[in-house]
Structure 1
Amino acid sequence: MDNLVFRKPAALFLALGVAACAPHPQASPTPAQTPTAQYRNSAGPVAWDPHVPDFATRNFVPFNRQDVVAIAMREWRLFGMPMDDDDPELRPEPTIGSVKPERAPGLWQRVGEYWWIGQDPQETEVSWSGKYDANGSLFNLIHDGHFAWSAAFISYVMRVAGANDRFPYSPNHSTYINAAASGESTGLRAHDPGAYVPKQGDLICTGRGGSKSVRFSSLPTRYGFPAHCGIVVATGQNGQPFGKQLSIIGGNIDDAVTLTHVPTDANGAVASQDGRSYDSRYPWCAVLEVVYDADAEPDAGQ
C-alpha cells in the first residue's frame, strides 16, 4: 500500500487547519434548492430535494474541498480501500455476484444511498441499489451496466458536502461535463487537461468506449456520451506505479469505490500542452475545477 495515498489528504487537513480560526458562518434557516439536471446536458431548473440531509442543504459549514476529499476517502475505506492501476479494458468481468462488492451485504445498500441522495426524488434511479431495481427485484449481474452508479457516486459526494445549486446532479457524467464546458454550472469550470493542474477536490474526466475520442475541443457536446470522472484526493505524489502521479477516487470501478493513480508531469498536469494524456488507459478530456467557498471547515478538529 502506497503510504502517499494517506499522507497527502492528511497534509491538506493540517495545512488548512488555520481556517479553524475563521468565524463560523450562519447556517441557512431554510433548505437550498438544487439543479434537477438528470439526463439533460445543462444544469437544469432548481427545486427542493427532501432527500438531502439538513446539514448539507442548509450548509452548516461552507462548501469546502476538505469535506469532499474526506467524504470520498470515507467511502473508499468503506469498500475496503481497493486500488486499481491496471487497464480497465483488460480486467475480466466477474461471472458470479459473490465477488462483486456492490452486491455484498451492507454495500449494495450503500450504493442505494448514492442513488437516493445523489439523484432527484422524482426519478426512477432513486430506488435503485447495488443489486435491486426500483421494484425491489434482484437484477441479473449481466445487466449491471444498466445500473452503473459512478455518476451517482460523484453526485452523492457533492450533495453531502453541501454543493447545493453548484452542481448538476445526474446519473450521467457527461451532464456535468457539458454544463461546466458551456458555463451553465456556477460551481464548475471546465479546463483543458494540458492547460490546468488539478487540485484536491477537482474532477478529472474521460470519455468511455466509443466516446474515448471526445476531447476538450469537442466540449460541450450536443448529446450525452459515456464518460467517467474521479475526485482528486491527493496531488504531487512520487511513488509506484507512475513516479510523478496524483490519486483519484471514483465509483463503480470494479464494482466498488476505488482509488486510481494517474500519471502527471513534474508540474502536476495530467496531459501535455497539446492535450495528449500522459495516461495510456484514460484519454482525459477535461479537468473540472470545483468552485468552493473554503478550502477547509472553519471549525475542523473542534
Structure 2
Amino acid sequence: MYLKFVLGVLLLALAGSAIAADQCPLLRSRQADPDIATRIAAVACDEHVEWYRPFIDSDGHLLSSTVAEAESRNLRSGAGPVWLRVAAYWRDASLLRQMGGYQGANECGFASASGGFPAQACRSFVVDQPWSAAFISWTMQRAGVPGFLSSASHFDYVRAARKNPQGSPYLFLDPQTAVPAMGDMLCYVRTGSVHGYSGLAEIIDGGAKGLKMHCDIVVAANPNGDSRAYLVGGNVQQAVTMRVLNLNASGRFWNLPMRSQGEVPCSPDAPAACDFNRQDWAVLLKLKPQAQLASMPPVRMLPPPRTSTAQPACCVRCVLGAVPEIPRCPVDGTPVVPTTPEPDSE
C-alpha cells in the first residue's frame, strides 16, 4: 500500500513538472515587460496559446494540432477566425505593400470576418503564401525590438545579422556551439542541399540575395532545469506551433537533429526517418543584451491584434457578383510587381 502511494506521488510530480515546463501560459501575460527578450517570448507564446497549443515533441513527432491556417474556426479567445489572424500578421507588420504583386495581398488590407469580397481573395493569399517570416516580423514589431528588419523572407534578417552585426539586434552564431536563450531565433535552410553554419555563412558572404529559410523563436530554455528548449514558429504544420529540443548540461543543443546529404526520406517504408525536428539547422540568431539594444533606434510597438471591419472603396481584382458590389479601382497602366524576394516556401 505504501509503495503504491509513493508511486502515485512520483507520477503526479512528473506530470506536474511536464505541465510546468511549457512557460507560455504564464509568459503570455508579460507582453509589456521592460525586458525585450521577455516581450518577444510573451508575444509568441500568446499566439501559440491562441492557436490551441500545437506542438512537436523532442522526438520530432507532431502530437497536437487543432486548427490550420485556412480555417474559419475562431482562435481560442474567440477573437476572429485563424485565417484572418494570419492576414493580420501580414497587414500589421506592414508587409502587404511588398507583396502587392501576389493575388489577394491587397484585399487582405481590409478583409473582415463578415465574408463576401474581399474575404475570399485574402483567404486564398493566406493559403498560397508562406507566412512564417510575416509571423516573425509581426512578433518582433509588436515586441518593439530595436533595429529589426521586417521582411517576407527570413533570409533578409539572417543576412542582416551576418553582414551588419552593429545594426542588427541579433548576432549570427553557430547553433551547435551557442547557448540558446529566451528571445533568440533558431533557423534552418529549406533547400535540397545541406548547408549548415559554414555553408550559410559562405553563401551570405558571397553576396547571395535570397535563400529559402525558416526561423523559430526561443521562448524558454531549460525552464525548471528540464534540459529542453521550447521554440515557437509560424506556419509550422500550418499553425503557430511549439517545437521542443533537448539541451545538454552546458545549455547547448544536444543531438540537434540535423539533415544529411543523401539521407533516406520519410515514408511508410522508413518511419525511423520521419522527424519534424530534423532540419538543416544553420544559425542561431542570438539576441543582443538589453543594454546594447537600448542604444539602437527604437521601433514602433504594434497595438494588440485587431480584426478589420472597414470596407474598401474600390477593388483591384474584382470578383464577379461580389456582395456588396465594389467599384473597380482606377487603372494607371502600371503593372503591380513584388518589391521584395518571394516569401520563404513552407
**TM-score (normalizing by structure 2):** 0.56
SS of residue in 1 equivalent to 2:248: coil
Distance 2:242 2:257 in 1: 23
Aligned to 2:243: 260
SS of residue in 2 equivalent to 1:248: strand
Deviations 1:82-106 (A, max 9, x none): 1123658x99xx9xxx963443242
Deviations 1:96-148 (A, max 9, x none): xx96344324211111111012234632366475xx8xx83636999867411
Q: What are the residue-to-residue correspondences of 1:51-130 with 2, within 5 Å?
A: 64-85=36-57, 87=60, 100-105=68-73, 106=80, 107-120=82-95, 122-124=97-99, 127=106
Q: Does 1:195 align with 2:177?
A: yes
Q: Does 1:169 align with 2:144?
A: no
- Note the C-alpha offset of 1:277: 4.5
Distance 1:209 1:142 in 2: 25
- Note the C-alpha offset of 1:77: 0.8
Aligned to 2:140: 158
- Flag the 1:265–1:128 CA change in 2: closer, same or farther, 3 A: farther
- Flag the 1:156–1:63 CA change in 2: closer, same or farther, 3 A: farther
| Amino acid in structure 1 at the alignment position of 2:38 | Q
Distance 2:228 2:56 in 1: 14
- Note the C-alpha offset of 1:170: 0.6
Say if 2:27 and 2:42, in contact at 8 Å, map to a contact too.
no
Q: Does 1:246 align with 2:229?
A: yes
Distance 1:99 1:284 in 2: 27
- Select the structure that is richer in strand: 1
- Note the C-alpha offset of 1:289: 0.9
Aligned to 2:279: 282
Distance 1:66 1:99 in 2: 26
Aligned to 2:196: 215
Aligned to 2:212: 226
Distance 1:109 1:11 in 2: 24
Give the unaligned 5+ runs of structure 1.
15-55, 296-302
- Flag the 1:118–1:251 CA change in 2: closer, same or farther, 3 A: same
SS of residue in 1 equivalent to 2:22: helix
- Flag the 1:99–1:231 CA change in 2: closer, same or farther, 3 A: closer
- Flag the 1:292–1:111 CA change in 2: closer, same or farther, 3 A: farther
> How many aligned positions are there?
234
Distance 2:211 2:286 in 1: 20
Q: Does 1:149 align with 2:135?
A: no
Distance 2:235 2:283 in 1: 20
Say if 1:64 and 1:294, in contact at 8 Å, map to a contact too.
no
Larger Rg: 2
Aligned-CA RMSD value: 4.0
Distance 1:194 1:128 in 2: 42
Aligned to 1:48: none
Distance 2:42 2:178 in 1: 23
Q: What are the residue-to-residue correspondences of 1:1-16 with 2, within 5 Å?
A: 2-7=18-23
Say if 1:9 and 1:233, in contact at 8 Å, map to a contact too.
no
Aligned to 1:183: 164
**Sequence identity percentage:** 28
SS of residue in 1 equivalent to 2:228: strand
| Amino acid in structure 1 at the alignment position of 2:37 | R
